[in-house]
Amino acid sequence: MSLPATSSDREKVVSKLPGWLRQNLKIRAAQHGIEIQTAVEQGIKQWSGLASATATVDTAGADSFSTFLPPGQWEDFRKVVADRRVSLIQGLAQSVQLWLDSNPAPEVVRPEITRRIVVCNQKGGVGKTAITAGLGEALAEEPNALHAVQIAKALAKALRESDTQSVGQQTADPLDTENLPGLGLRVLLVDFDPQCHLTNQLGASPLPMNGDSLTNHMAGDPKGDLRDLIVAVDQEHFDDRLHLLPACNDAFLLDVRLSAVRAREAALERALAPVESDYDVVLVDCPPSLGLSMDAASYYARRRDGERPGQSGALIVVQAEDSSADAYDLLTTQIDDLRGDLQVDIDYLGIVVNLYDSRRGYIATSSLQGWVDIKDPRVVGLIGDLKEQKEAVRMKQPLLSYAPRSQQAVGMRALAREIV
């Protein structure tokens, strides 16, 4: 059956495909950045050019499938199918399978130097932990599946219209999202906060005070291999790509212990060096502090020899209110002082405005505009204050597996693509 298309020079064709094959086609086309109709066109052309039909494809349970093809291709294809004495559905299935075989899923692009991102702000309560977890989850999601992502123009629209629109109060508008393959990166989340919020939120147990910890390794007094402290996060959903280095309450003593360590600004780097090569990205959830531990975190995120600008650095989490602005000034002053004192490059990866609700009125909307006006670093994420994140914390589950299509999850994936 062939129907004329209404908005292009192609014609609409309707046939059938089994659901599993249609899903594979949808994912693979997205992975290669092409439209489904282009993939089907290429598959039919390739199959029709063969000397004979390919291996039979199981088409049990096939249901309606439509696409748009160049004028005449479908009728020519029907003739080839008849000559080869296979059904039209079988011919189409073989064509699609041939395209899939000829266009395998691309390999995940891994950085040559492990990227190091410190998520920071000396002000507590801005949601650094939620952003660290959500960003890490978005970076580690399955590359052979599709996930709802907020498109860039939707974020830009939200920022432009922040004074008239309640951003993040409802489920994402389908018109503002697209389904994209996961990034599939190997991610280590480091809970660098003695309050252990990241550890608890992801359902892990804080390390015991009388055992080994990141603090011991930074202080030059390790009690074992740091790798033995790392745990996997939701292996079923992230397929062993997302790991956590849990916190220990002994981190409250870290600044005191670092004061006796030589080259203390490099303490975090020395501690994580043995495990760094196992990961594509290391995300550090920093404490609300401007002490020696923050110096060590900032130094860890410095640009290394051979590393491109913007690959590693500081991601600053704020809220749309005045106290966040005061804390931001103190944090950037500390980082800029460290830059000058040690003559290193520490890049700002951007600002994430978290827990945003324009219904809070002028303070929220005018503060958001203030963050947007900074320009450098620019706003790279806008995450609404919604119930799903709080529910995920209560359930001790990752947000992106607990509520994968929530507005916050969609925004986390957009954030990951802004800085990846």
Length of the chain: 420
Q: What's the pTM?
A: 0.90
Tokens of 18: 């089994």
Q: If residue 41 lies in a helix (H) or strand (E), which one and from where to where? A: helix 36-48
CA distance 288 to 285: 10
Residue position matching structure tokens 């790392």: 230
Pair 299, 265: CB distance under 8 Å: yes
Cβ neighbours, 10 Å, residue 378: 14
CA distance 61 to 102: 25
Tokens of 101: 């075989």
Q: Domain-by-domain residue ranges, the chain? A: 2-102, 115-419
CA atoms within 13 A on the CB side of 40: 27
Q: Which pLDDT score is estimated for 151? A: 77
Pairing, β 177-181 against β 146-150: antiparallel
Select 115-419's CATH number: 3.30.365.10, 3.30.360.10, 3.40.50.300, 2.60.120.280: 3.40.50.300
Dihedral angle computed from the Cα positions of residues 79, 81, 87 and 88, in that order, rounded to the nearest 10 degrees? -70
Q: Which pLDDT score is estimated for 171? A: 40
At position 411, the amino acid (one-letter code) is: G
Q: Which pLDDT score is estimated for 1? A: 42
Pairing, β 313-318 against β 348-356: parallel
Topology annotation, domain 2-102: Arc Repressor Mutant (1.10.1220)
Q: How would you write the pLDDT of the chain (420 residues) with one tens digit per residue?
A: 444 444 468 999 999 999 999 999 999 999 999 999 999 999 999 999 999 999 999 999 999 999 999 999 999 999 999 999 999 999 999 999 999 999 999 999 999 999 999 999 988 889 999 999 999 999 999 999 999 998 766 566 666 665 444 444 444 455 588 999 999 999 999 999 999 999 999 999 999 999 999 999 999 999 999 999 999 999 999 999 999 999 999 888 898 999 888 999 999 999 999 999 999 999 999 988 888 999 999 999 999 999 999 999 999 999 988 788 888 999 999 999 999 999 999 999 999 999 998 888 888 888 899 999 998 999 999 999 999 999 999 999 999 999 999 999 999 999 999 998
